[in-house]
């Protein structure tokens, strides 16, 4: 196993111009596979509300949902840095509640860091978490927990005012002590500019190739999710189709009696069988 990827490795990667890889995972066996493949960081995203729990948005996800899935992921990971995504309203009410909830990700979930969506409006919470020695990653641009404010999942930062606000927020987050910032669904040129302007790595999703790293939702990468399919997603595999094919073969073989055959069954001695009544 190569060296553990840590918050310090994020900074080193940016300095060395080495792209950072991040994927989401929500369960033990997937996390194990991603770690074995060598991904630098695993985000237990609140996107689990959509891809694992079947909600239309991430807003319904609870702290207990997140802790349950983070525990499973951390049991499967040896090298990657694990980030717990703080769900809607878990860091909006008070600093005390924010620290308590973030602390659960570290103490109960086994995460190494937490992610919060937002800029100026959450800076006091970010500072308090950093003071409590909890590493924080920011998230700007299309922040899905604000979907009702945005009026849908839309690209952010196209106008001068919006773009400048994202840059200002990025600077505030860096000052507050974040070790990286996710930029979601912003124009490529804006994301590149931010990546040049700030000292910490940017991790893009729908933000182009100028970011210091990339993140995608694993179900999208592997073609396993049939819901919302954003333009920025690249499908590297079509496991959804393969799963349907595999399950259809199983159904066919069970119905026809072809499965299970001898190679999948256990034997016993006939003299023992013959004594049974
Ligand atoms: O919840 C999530 O998966 C995320 C990524 C899309 C960045 O926040």
Residue 23: pLDDT band with limits 50, 70, 90: very high
pLDDT single digits (tens) 97-154: 999 999 999 999 999 999 999 999 999 999 999 999 999 999 999 999 999 989 888 8
Give residue-wise pLDDT tens across range 153-167: 889 999 999 999 999
Q: How far apart are CA 21 and CA 17, in angstroms?
A: 13
Tell the residue number behind the tokens 């074995």, with chain if given. Answer: 36
What pLDDT score was predicted for residue 251? 98
Whose structure tokens read 């918050």?
A: 7
Which residues have CB under 6 Å of ligand 1? 24, 43, 45-47, 85, 182, 184, 205, 215, 217
Mean pLDDT of 230-248: 96
pLDDT of amino acid 228? 75
Q: Which atom of ligand 1 is nearest to the CA of 117?
A: 8
pLDDT at position 152, please? 86
In this prediction the pTM is 0.96
- Cβ-based neighbours of 253, under 8 Å, separated by 6 or more: 259
The upper half-sphere exposure of residue 110, i.e. CA atoms within 13 Å in the direction of its Cβ, equals 15
* Catalytic entry in 117, 184, 245, 258: 184
Write down the domain spans for the chain: 7-237, 242-274
- Helix (H), strand (E) at residue 23: strand 20-24
Task: Give the CATH fold of the 7-237 domain.
Answer: TIM Barrel (3.20.20)
Mean pLDDT score of the chain: 97
- What's the farthest any 2 CA atoms get from each other in the chain? 86
> How far, CA to CA in Å, does 36 sit from each of 3, 9, 189?
13, 18, 33
What gap in Å lies between CA 186 and CA 157, rounded to an integer? 6
Q: 250 alpha carbon to ligand 1 midpoint, in Å? A: 34
| Predicted local confidence at residue 1, as pLDDT | 60
């Amino acid at each position: 196993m190569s060296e553990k990827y840590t918050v310090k490795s994020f900074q080193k990667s940016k300095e060395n111009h080495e792209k950072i890889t991040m994927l989401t995972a929500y369960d033990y066996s997937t996390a194990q596979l991603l770690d074995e493949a060598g991904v630098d960081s695993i985000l237990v995203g609140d996107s689990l509300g959509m891809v694992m729990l079947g909600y239309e948005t991430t807003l319904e996800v609870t702290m207990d949902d997140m802790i349950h899935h983070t525990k499973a992921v951390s049991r499967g990971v040896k090298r990657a840095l694990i980030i717990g995504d703080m769900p809607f309203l878990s860091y909006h009410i008070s600093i005390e509640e924010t620290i308590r909830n973030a602390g659960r990700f570290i103490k109960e979930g086994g995460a190494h860091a937490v992610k919060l969506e937002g800029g100026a409006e959450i800076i006091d919470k970010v500072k308090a978490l950093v003071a409590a020695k909890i590493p924080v990653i920011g998230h700007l641009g299309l922040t899905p927990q604000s979907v009702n404010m945005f009026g849908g999942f839309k690209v952010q930062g196209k106008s001068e005012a919006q773009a400048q606000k994202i840059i200002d927020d990025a600077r505030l987050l860096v000052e507050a002590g974040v070790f990286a910032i996710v930029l979601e669904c912003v124009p490529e040129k804006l994301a590149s500019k931010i990546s040049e302007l700030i000292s910490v790595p940017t991790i893009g999703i729908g933000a182009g190739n100028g970011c210091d790293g990339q993140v995608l939702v694993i179900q999208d990468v592997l073609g396993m999710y049939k819901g919302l399919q954003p333009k920025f997603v690249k499908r590297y595999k079509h496991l959804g189709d393969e799963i349907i094919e595999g399950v259809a073969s199983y159904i066919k073989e069970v119905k026809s009696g072809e499965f299970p055959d001898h190679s999948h069954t256990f034997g016993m001695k006939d003299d023992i069988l013959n004594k049974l009544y």
